Amino acid sequence: MSRLGFYEPQYPSSQYLWYCCYDMRPWGVLPGDGDLYRAGFVYGTVATVSTALDTVFCMFDSPFFRYHSRGVDIPAVGAEWRQLSSDHYVGVQAEDSRTGEDVVLFCHPSWWGNVRWGYRYTNQWHDDYAEDLAVEAQGNASLLVKSILWQGEPYERRTMRLVRFSENGRLLSDAELAEFGHPHLSGFVRINDAGQRFVAIVGAFSPDAPPSVSRLARVDASGRFLWQLPSDIEYDALFAEPEGNLLAAGSQVFEGQNYYDRYRRIVAVKYAPNGDIDGSGCVDDADLLRVLFAFGQQGADLAADLNGDACVDDADLLVVLFALGEGC
């Protein structure tokens, strides 16, 4: 269980050859381009005397690289960035005797086993766990982190934060998305081709909608909400489409007249911009004015950009005009 190796098929026979036997505990693979010799990195841990466990990653037929992170144990999240180079971003879990659980985010190129940069997200007031990771076209990484506050608190309090890093590992923003959460608090972060950022949070308390168990939202670069949608779906998957649409899958709990009528069903929902920019539940003149005042502007953080093309233009105006009056 602590040995890692690669099997390569030998054609035209059906035999396989064994390569690269390492003394490490494997726990994850990031996808590559399909070529065996340029496949994604295999990640794992190895025991050391001084740090208990270190992160290790390697490619096929290449020496592994060790990243000293002071006690990295289990994988958390990973993403691949394909722009100027095929860099891998990986967030792994670490434990420190002073700060508890931390998140170590590091970036390394796919063509050789070295590290471009590493960042240890930590605070002595709470434990942090990486939930999800997404990378923009420019190489900026958005890391969704669940934090459990324990020092100075009478009871543990779970929050959800969105942390954003530049392509060279500089912390750009750190925003709190959910102030209070259930023990099963979790979430997703997705970025579409236009650079729009979406988050789905499961298990957060919503004072404005107590029955809901989830929150679907679009955020700007600083983590501020552009819109929010309470939901009773416990999301398990989220896909951001180029047109500004969201495809989500999860489950819902339904209750009948008594306890035995309670059941859960799997659902898939596609969310599309409906013109309600300010989230009032009504497509009215206020939404129309938001489009008109932002008309011609370009960028990923424009709330009036409804179709996700990074520009407020006629297409966004038509979405509001065709839906004008809905929900009012």
Domain segments of the chain as ranges: 3-272, 279-328
CA 107 to chain centre: 16
The SS3 assignment for 71 reads coil
Burial class (CB in 10 A: 0-12, 13-18, 19+), 87: buried
Separation of alpha carbons 289 and 293, rounded Å: 6
Question: Phi and psi for 287 in degrees, rounded to 5?
Answer: -70, -40
How confident is the model over 284-288, as a mean pLDDT?
Answer: 87
Question: Could you tell me the pLDDT band of residue 1, with boundaries at 50, 70 and 90?
Answer: very low
Residue 229, strand partner residues: 216
What pLDDT was estimated at residue 38?
54
What pLDDT was estimated at residue 188?
94
Q: What is the amino acid identity at position 66?
A: R
What pLDDT was estimated at residue 152?
64
Structure tokens at 73: 């144990």
How confident is the model over 106-116, as a mean pLDDT?
Answer: 77
pTM of structure: 0.80
Alpha helices in 52-176 (DSSP H): none
Which range, of 56-60, 180-184, 241-245, averages the lowest pLDDT? 56-60
Count of Cβ atoms closer than 10 Å to residue 129 Cβ: 20
Q: What is the amino acid identity at position 99?
A: T
Say which residue, 67 or 13, is predicted with more confidence.
67
Within 13 Å of residue 59, how many CA atoms lie on the same side as its CB?
A: 19
CATH C-level class of 279-328: mainly alpha
Which range, of 14-23, 109-118, 255-264, 268-277, averages the lowest pLDDT? 14-23
Domain 3-272 classified CATH 2.130.10?
yes
- If you average pLDDT over every residue of the chain, what do you get? 79
Contacts of 188 (CB under 8 A, 6+ apart): 131, 132, 144, 199, 200, 235, 237, 238
What pLDDT was estimated at residue 323?
85
Question: Could you tell me the pLDDT band of residue 83, with boundaries at 50, 70 and 90?
Answer: low
Separation of alpha carbons 294 and 263, rounded Å: 46
CA 240 to chain centre: 11
Separation of alpha carbons 161 and 73, rounded Å: 22
Q: Contact at 8 Å (CB) between 136 and 173?
A: no
How confident is the model over 67-75, as a mean pLDDT?
Answer: 64
